[in-house]
Structure 1
Amino acid sequence: MKPLKASLARAPIRWTHPITPSQVCVLIRAEPDIHKAILIFDSATAEYPSGYRHDLPTFTLLSSRLALSSHPRRAEQLLLRAVRELSLPIPEPALLPLLRSHARAGRPLESLRLLLHSPSLFSLQPSHRSYTLVLSSLVAGNHLSQARHLYKHMKDINIPPSVATFNALVKALCSSGSLDAAVGVFRRMTDRHCKPDACTYNTLIDGFCKSGKVGDARDIFREMQEKRCAPTVVTYCSLIHGHCLSGDPDGALELFDEMRVRGVKPNVVTYSALVDGLCKGGRVMKAVEVVEQMAVDKCKPNVITYSGLVDGLCREGRVREAMEMLDRMRIQGRKPDAGLCGKVINGLCDSGKFHEAANCLDEMVLSGVQPNRVTWSLHVRMHNVVVRGLCGESDANRAFQVYLSMRSRGINTEPETFQLLIDCLCKKDDLQRAAQLVYEMLVGGCVPDYVTWRAIVGVFWNRSRVRESAELMLDTITDRVKT
């Protein structure tokens, strides 16, 4: 809690006499600011230090508010204080917000600690609700070994698992690749007359699809329908993605048509998986049709959708269509990232369209696409390829402009790029820029090779011979005039 005197000095509260716990609870519930709610809680006992103390509902109310406001440590301290002052067990509904708060903050092991020590800390024996919540948070945090041990502990202390408990365990086993064990848990559910729900089936189907066992996933899908458990959009997304991973875009299309017939509305994840699978399966134009269908269904494509489509178009040499997709993406208010722009630029370079690639680099800069630690190597590779390509086309001026853009943003220039650009400038007799590049190359710790030195020295040499010839010609003309 905050220091009492400081809190009261900032915002003193006038209480009626006598203060009742219900009055304090009403005020705490009505106060949206958690710090002011703490002030209300503290000032009530300060007003009548010997005649009033909080009851258990007041303690649990403020504790829940603290946990929901991402203050789990303070919430735990408040519950421990309630146990000390009231000598009463803490009810489980007060523990659940605390467990959820740790889970949301990515601290499932803290939730596990509170769960296992709740009998000694709070005089509380948790039910399957608390165990299931912690089990799910352990699975979500990829603490699979601890999740399996917790499930075994539940069996040892005779806590009956619920459908949610089984679902968490199935997800843990599927995540670790133990599909046979996951199916075993799934079968035990039916043996115990615990009916699997859509989440159970979806988890198993997704596990089989990600492992490339699409046939087994289809078997579970058929069983799901036989048991009259309606497939959801998640079910179809997993199956469509599985067929695409296994190189069966036709099967993915059949499932896509089936889900629409059944009235299951595809979402952007469904479309993105299908588009990516069609592009990788060589059905790019069909993927374009699917993206057009998204507009009809009023489902906006995201970066993943466009990324798969642009990649497929570039791999088939349809760079113009890929650039049109980038333009459409910008019109829809979605900013292409470095990876997406890189695919188009690489496609342009593969097609020998280095000037258009350079223009795309300029657009990236203008739109604010800057390299980060993840995309740094991609930016370096793109820029160097474009500069080398422009040098190959003998466009020294444009190549030098791209180089200056690289230098201003700290993008590394590779030794081969330096050497090709210097050679290109020397052939254009641009000695000043070539000398500047040699200097910057040396400052950057990159020593020019023999070919580079020979090219730039040759320019100096040629200029010297021209001057000597001109002087000789001038002297000859002067002598003839005199005679």
Structure 2
Amino acid sequence: MKPLKPSLAAAASIHWTHPIKPFHVRSLIRAEPDIHKAVLIFDSATAEYPSGYRHDLPTFTLLSSRLALSSLPRPAELLLLRARRELSLPIPEPALIPLLRSHARARRPLESLRLLRQSLSLFDLQPSHRSYTLVLSALVAGNHLNQARHLYNHMKDINIPPSVATFNALLKALCSSGSLDAAIRIFRQMPDRRCNPDACTYNTLIDGFCKSGKVGDAIDLFREMQEKRCAPTVVTYSSLIHGLCLSGDPDGALELFDEMRVRGVKPNVVTYSALVDGLSKGGRVIKAVEVVERMVVDKCRPNVITYSGLVDGLCREGRVPEAMEMLDRMRIQGRKPDAGLCGKVIKGLCDSGKFHEAANCLDEMVLSEVRPNRVTWSLHVRMHNSVVRGLCGESDANRAFQVYLSMRTSGINTEPETFQLLIDCLCQKDDLQRAARLVYDMLVEGCIPDHDTWRAIVGVFWNRRRVQESAELIWHTLMNH
């Protein structure tokens, strides 16, 4: 990062009208989009009158907020400390909020917690429930659930009244850790604290119950939500549809999907993807295709997750050509299939005995620079080996060897059975040079050829006329002596 503190010479290069007023400085800082130039404006004012002009607290807090919004929380904090030292005034909470948010956005919730705890000593500031709720939410989002619960208990100890947002953050922490009973107890206490649950409250609990497989309890909360005239949102319906699909009730998910459309709640890509995945896994892939078609009509573009569920379902039911059409549709729409999605189609081709088409898909992955990650790596190892073995079964030694070379280039391990089948296939084609190379590769990888592999190699040598004649000559010579 470039230094934020300009030199005094650079600061003095800005000419001010006399006398300088704080609101002039703030106007220029607000109008300057470049944060480094905004700092230059700030410093140039004091450079103009080194013994007279001083920034007021609003000017300090404005620039600090700009720095925090520019993902520069440390310079923002130092500026507030400078304001506290030079002006001997407490820092207002609105100046601290952008700083806390900056750390939260950068996924540094523990830094937000540090600032909150030190706010009194550093800035002479007693935070309200607003700052506590912001930090609580950041801790939950960062999966620091124990710290989040401790912070909530601390709020109760110092009598800071929680808001609905505070309860929502706490409920999310409890649901994320699987403490659903505790979450319900807190939820039932909300009216006593004069905090009526909102849609976010219900959505958090419903999602927690669905992910824990307690869809019945989630449905009960959904009905309670409607009875209390708290309108369900697309998040509510998406969580329930996903939960019903996970519990093996695609019909219930379809009914709920139709209900949300009747109520005027527009499904989003998450809703559609959950339904498509559930229908595909539930053996209703034709209905899943219809849902995707409706999705396109509703001008909601399917994403990789949508297509992944559909392609998986099509391959499960042996509809591999249709799965390949879905991949082509993705490419036409400008969405690049990932390694996992391509792997599902290639596995489906292998299961259908279409090894040449599978090999072509592997080549297309290489050309498109689609590479497996740590999650899909083992799938692709099995997949490549299956393709080579399948091609050997069809006696296509040349194509199998090409796939093998591609595997070596990509660093994909060759399984012992694959080595042996490919060597045997090459030996049957009398391709001794390639077979010998494979034996060498096997030994390099610490894979010892078995008896059948050696027998195949020796058999090729034996079938060569010169080797056979030399062996017979040696045999006759030994017999005659």
- Taking structure 1 as the reference length, the TM-score comes to 0.94
Conserved 8 A contact 1:2-1:38: no
Correspondence 1:359 to 2:395: no
Look up the match of 1:62. Answer: 63
Mapped to 2, the partners of 1:184 and 1:66 lie a distance apart of 41
Mapped to 2, the partners of 1:258 and 1:445 lie a distance apart of 61
Correspondence 1:43 to 2:60: no
Look up the match of 1:98. Answer: 99
Look up the match of 1:432. Answer: 433
Q: Which runs of 5+ in 2 are unaligned?
A: 474-481
Percent identity, please. 87
Mapped to 2, the partners of 1:111 and 1:401 lie a distance apart of 55
Mapped to 2, the partners of 1:276 and 1:158 lie a distance apart of 47
Mapped to 1, the partners of 2:4 and 2:105 lie a distance apart of 28
Mapped to 2, the partners of 1:181 and 1:375 lie a distance apart of 37
Conserved 8 A contact 1:425-1:434: yes
Mapped to 2, the partners of 1:158 and 1:372 lie a distance apart of 49
Correspondence 1:463 to 2:459: no
Q: Report the alpha carbon displacement of residue 465 of structure 1 after superposing the two structures with TM.
A: 6.3
Conserved 8 A contact 1:128-1:159: yes
Distance 1:10 1:53, change over 3 A: closer
Matched residue of 2:464: which SS? helix
Q: Report the alpha carbon displacement of residue 364 of structure 1 after superposing the two structures with TM.
A: 1.0
Matched residue of 2:7: which SS? helix
Look up the match of 1:151. Answer: 152
Correspondence 1:312 to 2:313: yes
Conserved 8 A contact 2:6-2:40: no
The amino acid of 1:139's aligned partner reads: V
Conserved 8 A contact 1:217-1:239: yes
Conserved 8 A contact 1:423-1:455: yes
Mapped to 1, the partners of 2:186 and 2:162 lie a distance apart of 11
Conserved 8 A contact 1:7-1:39: no
The amino acid of 1:23's aligned partner reads: H
Matched residue of 2:125: which SS? coil
Conserved 8 A contact 1:4-1:43: no
Correspondence 1:163 to 2:164: yes
Distance 1:48 1:259, change over 3 A: same
The amino acid of 2:247's aligned partner reads: S
Q: Deviations over 1:352-407 (max 9, x none)?
A: 11111111111111211123444332322211110011111111111011112222
Q: Report the alpha carbon displacement of residue 37 of structure 1 after superposing the two structures with TM.
A: 0.9
Mapped to 1, the partners of 2:151 and 2:28 lie a distance apart of 39
Look up the match of 1:173. Answer: 174
RMSD: 1.8
Look up the match of 2:479. Answer: none
Conserved 8 A contact 2:12-2:47: no
Look up the match of 2:245. Answer: 244
Look up the match of 1:211. Answer: 212
Q: Which runs of 5+ in 1 are unaligned?
A: 473-483
Dislocated runs of 4+, deviation >4 Å: 1-5
Q: Report the alpha carbon displacement of residue 10 of structure 1 after superposing the two structures with TM.
A: 8.3
Which is further off, 86-95 or 457-466? 457-466
- What is the number of residues matched between the two proteins? 471
Look up the match of 2:326. Answer: 325
Mapped to 2, the partners of 1:466 and 1:77 lie a distance apart of 85
Mapped to 1, the partners of 2:467 and 2:155 lie a distance apart of 93
Distance 1:409 1:71, change over 3 A: same
The amino acid of 1:18's aligned partner reads: P
Look up the match of 1:345. Answer: 346
Q: Deviations over 1:1-53 (max 9, x none)?
A: 95866363488211222211111111111111111111111121112110111
Q: Report the alpha carbon displacement of residue 350 of structure 1 after superposing the two structures with TM.
A: 1.0
Look up the match of 1:475. Answer: none
Q: Report the alpha carbon displacement of residue 466 of structure 1 after superposing the two structures with TM.
A: 8.0
Q: Report the alpha carbon displacement of residue 101 of structure 1 after superposing the two structures with TM.
A: 0.5
Look up the match of 2:402. Answer: 401
Conserved 8 A contact 2:12-2:44: no
Look up the match of 1:481. Answer: none
Mapped to 1, the partners of 2:232 and 2:136 lie a distance apart of 25
Q: Deviations over 1:162-207 (max 9, x none)?
A: 1111111111111111111111111111223321110001111111
Look up the match of 1:422. Answer: 423
Look up the match of 2:478. Answer: none
